[in-house]
Amino acid sequence: MIKDITIGQYIPGDTFVHKLDPRTKIIISLLFIVSLFVINNFFGYIFVIAFLGLAVAVSKIHLSYLYKGLKPVFILIIITALLNVFMIQGSDSTLLWQFKFFKIYKEGVDTAVFMTLRLIFLILGTSLLTLTTSPIELTDGIEKLLNPFKKLGLPAHELAMMMTIALRFIPTLIDETDKIMKAQQARGADFESGSLVTKAKNLIPLLVPLFISSFRRADELAMAMEARCYRGGEGRTRMKELKYTNKDLIAYGVFSILFIASILIRIGII
């Protein structure tokens, strides 16, 4: 299960999506999330599926890899679906099933499917951002987008650096957790059997060395940055300056179809 977590991982490539300016991908990802919450019926998901399918095909990210990224959140998806099925009871909705005080209405099922699809699309869409954008590009993109807020005293460079380091260390910590877990299992630790309380207690031999390792890595990173005379973002130059190209205009144009369609669907024109 640990190896299935793909958050923060980057897959190098030379595709159209990989070559896009990171600011373009960040803005499109944010607006994609907004469009998912704007769409209020199943018809709108046709545009979402078409856009995601096109993005996955162009980026050449294998579907099995995206599926692997969904596996760790299956429990969350199932809980979301069950809550909507049993908690939503429309007065005018058709009763589909009843057992004592448990009732399932058609409106509840429709909402459960709708919310489940929204959650899946949300994870898939945002995953494409990190899978096709290197940590350095992501840092530069976030910093550029936050630069206008510097006049308000916002430390754009520091925020971008912290966000990217946190994102970058997720795969590292996942690998470290897997190694520690295998080492503890070789010493007789059991993380699977027993009650919930027992499983929680058995995690102590895993969490303690993981915290120690995390602090050690953070200290090593701080020392490495100081050794390279890192003093923040003021006066720093970049090896590659961000620059919009025709590819970014094409990407904005294609995504605008989805975004405009989501707004028209919301207000009932489509």
Q: Is the dihedral of CA 188, 191, 195, 200 positive or negative?
A: positive
Q: Which two tokens stand for residue 210?
A: 């993981």
* Helical H segments across the chain, by residue range: 22-38, 45-59, 63-70, 74-87, 106-131, 135-146, 156-186, 196-202, 204-227, 246-267
Q: Which residue's entry shows tokens 């179809």?
A: 257
The total domain count for the chain is: 1
Q: Do residues 36 and 118 make contact, with C-beta atoms less than 8 angstroms apart?
A: yes
**Contact between residue 142 and residue 26 where contact means Cβ atoms under 8 Å apart:** yes
What are 60's two structure tokens?
């050449």
Going by C-beta distance under 8 Å and a sequence separation of 6 or more, which residues neighbour residue 61? Answer: 11, 128, 131, 132
CA distance 214 to 222: 12
Per-residue pLDDT of the chain (270 residues; tens, 9 = 90+): 445 555 657 788 888 988 898 889 999 999 999 998 888 888 888 888 999 999 989 988 888 777 777 777 788 888 888 887 777 776 666 776 667 767 777 787 888 888 888 888 888 888 888 888 887 788 788 888 888 877 777 777 777 777 777 777 777 777 788 788 888 778 777 767 767 677 777 777 788 888 888 888 888 888 887 887 777 666 666 667 778 889 999 999 999 988 888 888 888 776
- In which domain, by residue range, is 52 found? 2-267
Closest C-alpha to 93, from 83, 84, 101, 104? 104
